[in-house]
Amino acid sequence: MKHALNQKPDYEKELRKAGVRITRPRRIILDILTSTEDHPDAMKIFHRAIEIDDSISLSTVYRTMNLLEEMGAIHRHAFNGGPSRFEQAHGEHHDHLIDVDTGDVIEFQSDKIEKLQEEIARALGYDIIHHRLELYGRKSKRPE
Amino acid sequence: MKHALNQKPDYEKELRKAGVRITRPRRIILDILTSTEDHPDAMKIFHRAIEIDDSISLSTVYRTMNLLEEMGAIHRHAFNGGPSRFEQAHGEHHDHLIDVDTGDVIEFQSDKIEKLQEEIARALGYDIIHHRLELYGRKSKRPE
DNA sequence: AATGCAAATGCGAATGATTTGCAAAAAGAA
DNA sequence: TTCTTTTTGCAAATCATTCGCATTTGCATT
Ligand SMILES: [Mn+2]
Ligand SMILES: [Mn+2]
Ligand SMILES: [Zn+2]
Ligand SMILES: [Zn+2]
């Protein structure tokens, strides 16, 4: 259960290595993604982007998110079944607790849960490729 | 980790009690939902419905799903970020393992995981309202 | 620095899932 | 049966996302 704000990974280098061109829109979008703590959706990323370069299009944001997702550079979430929201993949794995009143997203990590998931899948004859765990909760009144 | 095909709950009675009219389309959709083992999406429910009464519209399916969800009679899932899929809420809580190759949905239940989730939320000062746990996996080659 | 070409962009139109407005039909109380 | 309200079917609207295509850009090569 810990946060990890480590050193930024060099996505540009990774992109180049994969034979992908590093363009102005991509650079800007990557900057946005690596320098935020939250989980913005495409529209929010778009708005932050046009603040830096107002010629960037929403299509390019979507295309770039798909590209980065395929490269494993970002993760896509769909809290509440709403529009896709993103975060950079770098850093240790974590899951999310969503405050149903405020919409706040709290990150947490539990080895125990990860282990249990593996066990369950194995008991069913499966290997986990990925998973999604979202807790939707409300601030508790009780003393902690 | 067990299935539970118990006695069907009387949704019609519940609907009436809530002051909701019990119409032909609703009766048909409820029948479909209570008599299936899978997790159909709106379109699939629609197709099964018009087989019984070809005057039912897709809008009504969607409206009915929203109604039943609000009443807590069904659960809505969005596996893979695809279209909403539904199942009757009746029966004990369970989570899902999705076979990434076949799309098969396997249900499972683990008290341990449920407990752990509670603990985690509590440690963060929250009470869980609901949660979503989806494991995406592939049949393992290893001996079980 | 100029050239060439594939890759990426911006734009707007298309898509797919879901919702909505509205007149007509059906439910249920009286 | 009549009356009032809810629900329906249909078509059009919305929302998030993708796509087609002419134009621009990245970048490897002269
Ligand atoms: Mn996160
Ligand atoms: Mn299920
Ligand atoms: Zn996890
Ligand atoms: Zn659960």
pLDDT digits (tens, 9 = 90+) for B55-74: 999 999 999 999 999 999 99
Rounded CA-CA distance B21/B3 in Å is 32
**CA–C1' distance A141–D13 (Å)?**
43
Q: Beta B126-139 vs B95-99: how paired, if at all?
A: parallel
Q: Over the stretch B23-64, which tens digit does the pLDDT of each residue have? A: 999 999 999 999 999 999 999 999 999 999 999 999 999 999
The H-or-E segment that residue A75 falls in is: strand A74-77
Query: Which structural domains are found in chain A, ordered by start?
Result: 11-88 (1.10.10.10), 95-137 (3.30.1490.190)
**In angstroms, what separates the C-alpha of A64 from chain B's closest C-alpha?**
18
| Chain A nearest C-alpha distance from B54 (Å) | 30
Give the integer Cα–Cα distance in Å for B115 and B96. Answer: 17
Q: Provide the Cα torsion A23, A24, A30, A31; round to 10°.
A: 150
Residues B109-112: contacts with CB under 8 Å, at least 24 apart: B109/B1, B109/B2, B110/A116, B110/A120, B110/B1, B112/A116
Cβ atoms B128, A135 nearer than 8 A: yes
Contact B126 A139 (CB under 8 A): yes
Mean pLDDT of chain B: 91
What pLDDT score was predicted for residue A14? 85
What is the average pLDDT value for chain A, to the nearest integer?
Answer: 91
Residue B7: the pLDDT is 58
Q: Give pLDDT tens digits for B63-104.
A: 999 999 999 999 999 998 899 999 999 989 999 999 999 999
* Residues of B whose CB is below 8 A from A140: 122, 125-127
Spatial separation of the C-alpha atoms in residues B106 and A56, rounded to whole Å: 43
What does the alpha-carbon distance between residue B75 and residue B54 come to, in Å, rounded to a whole number? 25
CB contact under 8 A, B136 and A128: yes
CA of A67 to nearest chain B CA: how many angstroms apart?
A: 17
**A86 pLDDT above the threshold of 80:** yes
Q: What is the pLDDT of residues A31-48, one digit of tens each?
A: 999 999 999 999 999 999
Which residues in chain A have Cβ-Cβ distances shorter than 8 Å to B131? 133-136
- The residue that minimises its CA distance to C1' of D15 is A83
Show residues of chain A in contact with B100, CB under 8 Å: 129
Interface subset of B 17-36, CB within 8 angstroms of A: none
Cβ-contact B118, A112 below 8 angstroms? no
The residue among A62, A59, A93 whose CA lies nearest residue A75 is A93
CB pairs under 8 A between A and B: 117
* pLDDT at residue B4 tops 60: no
Ligand 1 centroid from CA B134, angstroms: 16
Q: What is the number of other CB atoms lying within 10 angstroms of the CB of residue B26?
A: 20
pLDDT single digits (tens) A93-112: 999 999 999 999 999 999 99
Instruction: For residues A38 and A96, give the distance between their C-alpha atoms in angstroms, rounded to a whole number.
Output: 12
